């Protein structure tokens, strides 16, 4: 079973080497690695070129203008030839070397469309200390109306799921991953399995939490995603997720 891992990058020179090395270190061998770069202006492409021969033909990359992160993800999905596809952001890295091995093992069950698990967050100053633990253990589809979804960086699905349900919507700025989850769980009723493990370590400071403006954009887009996919919600219901997120922090 081939697993395609897609990394979207733009001016990611500070972190992409760590990201790519964590893919190289995976114990599972049947991996296809795809990097989609948005014409980075820093040293990102030089790092990508340095790593390419280390993948021994299992890596492909492109660098061209795109229409935002979800357009870049879609390019990666078009390029993917694996049976299973997942996304690893350029400033994240796999927490352990056997993550993809466990993912592949889960997909030996033909009834499973997708799997997901946990992620944890760290600060750049200390990559070994978890400051927020995002567990997907309790997720149920009805949680979507509150803006809560499985951790997207831990989400791996059969490629045929995306072929059936469609790609990420590029008119979303930062809520396209949530819209995809709502669409898959509510409109396509995918069969999933939670894996009780940490998939990915993420650096704090993502686009959705950058400032008040980004939070308001995400609130609008989460509400829109639910309504477009037939899920009743209200902005006040979506806001309740922030109380839940407080419980994830490690002080």
Q: Give the model's pLDDT for residue 251.
A: 60
Q: What is the pLDDT of residues 191-218, one digit of tens each?
A: 999 999 999 999 997 654 556 788 999 9
The pair of three-digit structure tokens given for residue 76, joined into one six-digit string: 């990666």
| Cα-to-chain-centroid distance, residue 9 | 13
Q: Which residue has the tokens 């357009």?
A: 71
Phi and psi based region of residue 183 (left: phi greater than 0; alpha: psi -120 to 50; beta: remaining):
alpha
Q: Give the model's pLDDT for residue 211.
A: 61
Provide the strand spans (E) within the chain.
3-9, 31-37, 59-63, 84-87, 92-94, 114-122, 132-134, 156-158, 192-203
Residue 232: helix, strand or coil by DSSP?
A: coil
Q: Give the model's pLDDT for residue 173.
A: 96
The pair of three-digit structure tokens given for residue 179, joined into one six-digit string: 């819209």
Q: Give the model's pLDDT for residue 207.
A: 57
What residues contact residue 133 under an 8 Å CB cut-off, 6+ apart? 118, 120, 121, 248, 250
Per-residue pLDDT of the chain (251 residues; tens, 9 = 90+): 999 999 999 999 999 999 999 999 999 999 999 999 999 999 999 999 999 999 999 999 999 999 999 999 999 999 999 999 999 999 999 999 999 999 999 999 999 999 999 999 999 999 999 999 999 999 999 999 999 999 999 999 999 999 999 999 999 999 999 999 999 999 999 999 999 999 999 999 765 455 678 899 999 999 999 999 999 999 999 998 988 788 788 76
Q: Give the model's pLDDT for residue 246.
A: 81
Q: Give the model's pLDDT for residue 64.
A: 98
Q: Give the model's pLDDT for residue 206.
A: 62
Asked if 213 and 174 count as a contact pair (C-beta separation under 8 A), the reply is no
Q: Which domains does the chain have, with CATH numbers?
A: 3-248 (3.90.550.10)
Q: What letter would DSSP give residue 123?
A: B
Q: Give the model's pLDDT for residue 75.
A: 98
Q: What is the pLDDT of residues 48-86, one digit of tens each?
A: 999 999 999 999 999 999 999 999 999 999 999 999 999
Q: Give the model's pLDDT for residue 245.
A: 84
Nearest 5°: phi and psi at 136?
-100, 10
């Amino acid at each position: 079973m081939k697993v395609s891992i897609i990394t979207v990058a733009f001016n990611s020179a500070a972190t992409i080497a760590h990201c790519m090395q964590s893919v190289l270190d995976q114990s599972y061998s049947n991996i296809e690695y795809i990097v989609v770069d948005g014409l980075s202006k820093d040293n990102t492409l030089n790092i990508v070129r340095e790593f390419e021969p280390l993948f021994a033909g299992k890596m492909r990359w492109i660098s061209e203008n795109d229409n935002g992160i979800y357009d870049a993800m879609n390019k990666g999905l078009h390029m993917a030839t694996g049976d299973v596809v997942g996304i690893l952001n350029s400033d994240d890295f796999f927490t352990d070397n056997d993550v993809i091995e466990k993912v592949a093992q889960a997909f030996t069950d033909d009834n499973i469309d997708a799997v997901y698990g946990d992620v944890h967050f760290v600060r750049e100053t200390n990559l070994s200390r978890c400051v927020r633990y995002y567990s997907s253990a309790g997720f149920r589809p009805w949680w979507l109306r509150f803006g809560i979804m499985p951790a997207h960086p831990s989400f791996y699905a059969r490629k045929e799921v995306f072929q059936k349900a469609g790609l990420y919507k590029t008119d979303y700025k930062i809520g396209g991953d949530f819209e995809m989850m709502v669409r898959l769980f509510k409109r396509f009723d995918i069969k999933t399995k939670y894996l009780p493990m940490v998939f990915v370590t993420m650096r704090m400071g993502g686009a959705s939490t950058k400032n008040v403006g980004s939070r308001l954009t995400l609130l609008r887009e989460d509400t829109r995603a639910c309504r477009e996919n037939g899920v009743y919600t209200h902005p006040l219901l979506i806001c309740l997720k922030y109380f839940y997120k407080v419980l994830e922090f490690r002080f």
